[in-house]
């Protein structure tokens, strides 16, 4: 996977957390996801397609991290992972990917976004069915951790993965 595809997501998530959630999110070192290391309680997933590549993005939050983040976004204390939290995670996923899409577009890579999906359930794992590699970027906040996973398949390799 082209490493150019990663930085726009890293950049945008920090901006979105700062502006939408007034939360400092500190990125750790990105790593190749070779097993299902990121377990979380709430995940936003979105698909991306384009002429040069296709991909998917997942943002996986621990319960304590997302309750803090959504409370900051909405300006009220949210104590449980409910429909409001699921909706907010879908929105965060949309905004992060939309921001990354704009940066990628300036770099000459055009993508369309699918509809975001939110998964809620204690301690679930995410696997991307890709012939490429999945990069995981861990983030720390004062309230807990979250993980951003990005995978892309560039078009020269795409035919093997499409049915």
Map residue 26 onto helix, strand or coil.
Answer: strand
Which distant-in-sequence residues (6+ apart) come within 8 Å of 27 by Cβ? 10, 13, 14, 137, 138, 139
Cβ neighbours, 10 Å, residue 149: 23
Task: Find the shortest distance in angstroms from Cβ 135 to a copy of itself.
Answer: 13
Task: Find the shortest distance in angstroms from Cβ 34 to a copy of itself.
Answer: 11
Task: Find the shortest distance in angstroms from Cβ 107 to a copy of itself.
Answer: 19
Cβ neighbours, 10 Å, residue 107: 12
DSSP letter assigned to residue 159: G
Cβ closest to a copy of itself, residue 46 vs residue 143: 46
Cβ closest to a copy of itself, residue 124 vs residue 140: 124
Give, rounded to a whole angstrom, the gap between the first and last alpha carbons of the chain: 21
Q: CB burial class (10 A; 0-12, 13-18, 19+) of residue 53?
A: buried
Cβ closest to a copy of itself, residue 79 vs residue 115: 115
Distance CA(25)–CA(131), nearest Å, equals 30
Residue with token string 């301690």 = 123
Task: Find the shortest distance in angstroms from Cβ 41 to a copy of itself.
Answer: 9
Cβ closest to a copy of itself, residue 54 vs residue 68: 54
Residues forming the site for a copy of itself (CB under 8 A): 35-36, 43, 45-49, 54-56, 58, 83, 86-87, 90-91, 93-95, 98-99, 112-130, 151-153, 161-163
Cβ closest to a copy of itself, residue 48 vs residue 148: 48
Task: Find the shortest distance in angstroms from Cβ 13 to a copy of itself.
Answer: 14
């Amino acid at each position: 996977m082209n490493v150019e595809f990663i930085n726009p997501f890293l950049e945008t998530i920090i901006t979105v957390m700062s502006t939408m959630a007034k939360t400092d999110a500190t990125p750790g070192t990105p790593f190749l996801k070779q097993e299902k290391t990121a377990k979380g309680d709430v995940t936003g997933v979105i698909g991306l397609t384009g002429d040069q590549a296709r991909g998917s993005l997942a943002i996986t939050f621990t319960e304590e991290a997302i309750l803090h983040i959504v409370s900051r976004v909405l300006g009220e204390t949210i104590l449980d992972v409910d429909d409001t939290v699921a909706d907010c995670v879908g929105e965060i996923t949309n905004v992060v990917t939309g921001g990354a899409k704009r940066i990628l577009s300036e770099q000459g890579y055009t993508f369309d976004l699918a509809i975001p999906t939110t998964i809620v359930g204690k301690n679930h794992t995410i696997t991307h069915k890709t012939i490429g590699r999945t990069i995981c970027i861990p983030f720390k906040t004062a309230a807990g951790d979250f993980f951003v996973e990005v995978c892309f398949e560039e078009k020269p390799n795409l035919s093997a993965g499409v049915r």
